[in-house]
């Protein structure tokens, strides 16, 4: 019997092939849960849902009505919701003074307003208690240059998660965040392709390696399981990165120059 046998899980943000939310959903299914995945690309969601024997539903997290419809669809397809995971995000790298109003509003909608809507929609469906899981970031706690909009919204929603833990604990609802650091994934393949970058990051991990999506999925399984007696916390699933902190921009440039003779690319200068 799997750790999540009999559980009904909703995972939002699973519309990109082999991303972190898909890794979490795949592990949930392997542990016996019924799973619904959601996001904005139905072709990929339906392909992945078929792979894991689950269900797919469209949802733009920034729209309240989409979140309400998603929660209702999960009840209709799964019979209820025991686990709700928000894995959406936008890793914008841009200097503070260059971040536009449009980018800031989009980031806020995606990483603060949208998650608020999502958890507002799912909590009333948890009639027998359950587990709310927000994928946050180590950078909500420690520094990384040129990442202020992302970091600020992630940190702000970590505090909302603590509010949910406080307000709904009496109903048996747990609410926690997971904070990865730099993670081996298709989403970070571009950074890994720059010589010296991953090696510089790796030196900041006391456990000696960069994290994987499987590390995050394992943590999510524990948070979702009945073994978890914890709420209102932010799990730093990043190999001790928060003890040493991310490398500075100057350190990353020095590593790239040593390896290639030139600084690392600046996405905002394209």
* pLDDT one-digit tens code per residue, 225-249: 999 999 999 999 999 999 999 999 9
Strand partners, 176: 133
**Confidence (pLDDT) at 40:** 98
Tens of pLDDT, residues 193-229: 888 899 999 999 999 999 999 999 999 999 999 999 9
Q: What is the pLDDT confidence band of residue 105, given thresholds at 50, 70 and 90?
A: very high
Considering only 52-66, 72-86, 96-110, 255-269, which range has the smallest mean pLDDT? 255-269
8-185+211-244: CATH architecture: 3-Layer(aba) Sandwich (3.40)
Better pLDDT: 20 or 268: 20
Phi-psi label, residue 165: left if phi above 0, alpha if psi -120 to 50, beta otherwise: alpha
The rounded distance, in Å, linking the Cα atoms of 224 and 191 is 31
pLDDT tens digits, residue range 115-133? 999 999 999 999 899 999 9
Residues labelled as active-site residues: 150
- pLDDT given for residue 267 in this prediction: 82
φ, ψ of residue 35 to 5 degrees: the values are -130, 135
* DSSP classification of residue 56: E
Residue with the two structure tokens 């709700």: 84
Is pLDDT above 80 for 187? no
CA 250 to chain centre: 27
Examine the pLDDT at 266 and tell me if it is beyond 90.
no
127 bridge partner residues: 129
Are the C-beta atoms of residues 133 and 178 closer than 8 Å to each other?
A: yes
Determine how many CB atoms are found less than 10 A away from the CB of residue 137: 27
Are 200 and 252 in contact, with CB atoms under 8 Å apart? yes
Query: For the segment 49-93, what is each residue's pLDDT rounded down to a tens digit?
Result: 999 999 999 999 999 999 999 999 999 999 999 999 999 999 999
pLDDT at 269 (0 to 100): 83
Q: What digits encode the pLDDT tens for the residues 136-159? A: 999 999 999 999 999 999 999 999
Of the candidates 199, 48, 226, the one whose C-alpha atom is nearest the C-alpha of residue 129 is: 226
For 100, other C-beta atoms within 10 Å of its C-beta total 10
CA angle (140 as vertex; 58, 157 as ends), nearest 5: 50
For residue 138, what are the β-bridge partners?
Answer: none
Q: Count of CB atoms within 10 A of residue 199's CB?
A: 12
Query: Which whole-number Å values give the CA distances from 186 to 111, 140, 215, in the listed order?
Result: 21, 22, 15
pLDDT at 185: 86
Of all residues in the chain, what percent carry a pLDDT higher than 90?
90
- The per-residue pLDDT for 150 is 98
Q: What is the pTM of this model?
A: 0.97
Which residue in 256, 148, 144 sits closest to 200, CA to CA? 256
Identify the H or E element spanning 202: helix 197-202
pLDDT at 248 (0 to 100): 96
Residue 132 forms beta bridges with which residues?
A: 84, 175
The encoded tokens of residue 265 equal 């690319």
Rounded-to-integer distance, Cα 118 and Cα 42, Å: 18
Q: Where are the domains of the chain?
A: 8-185+211-244
């Amino acid at each position: 019997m799997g750790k999540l046998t009999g559980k009904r899980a909703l995972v939002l943000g699973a519309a990109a092939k082999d991303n972190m939310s898909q890794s979490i959903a795949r592990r949930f299914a392997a542990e016996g849960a019924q799973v619904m995945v959601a996001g904005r690309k139905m072709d990929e969601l339906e392909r992945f849902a078929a792979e894991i024997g689950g269900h797919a539903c469209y949802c733009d997290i920034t729209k309240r009505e989409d979140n309400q419809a998603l929660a209702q669809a999960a009840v209709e397809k799964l019979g209820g919701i025991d686990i709700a995971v928000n894995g959406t995000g936008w890793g914008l790298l841009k200097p503070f003074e260059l971040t536009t109003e449009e980018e800031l509003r989009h980031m806020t909608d995606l990483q603060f307003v949208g998650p608020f809507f999502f958890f507002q929609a799912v909590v009333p469906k948890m009639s027998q208690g359950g587990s709310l899981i927000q994928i946050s970031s180590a950078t909500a706690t420690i520094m990384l240059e040129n990442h202020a909009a992302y970091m600020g919204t992630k940190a702000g929603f970590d505090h909302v998660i603590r509010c949910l833990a406080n307000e709904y604990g009496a109903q048996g609802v747990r609410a926690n965040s997971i904070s990865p650091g730099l993670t081996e994934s298709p989403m970070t393949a571009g950074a890994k392709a720059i010589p010296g970058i991953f090696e510089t990051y790796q030196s900041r991990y006391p456990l000696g390696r960069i994290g994987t999506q499987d590390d995050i999925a394992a943590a999510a399984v524990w948070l979702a399981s009945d073994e978890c007696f914890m709420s209102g916390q932010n799990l730093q699933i990043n190999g001790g990165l928060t003890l040493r902190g991310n490398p500075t921009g100057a350190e990353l440039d020095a590593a790239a120059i040593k390896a290639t003779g030139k600084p690392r690319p600046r996405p905002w200068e394209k």
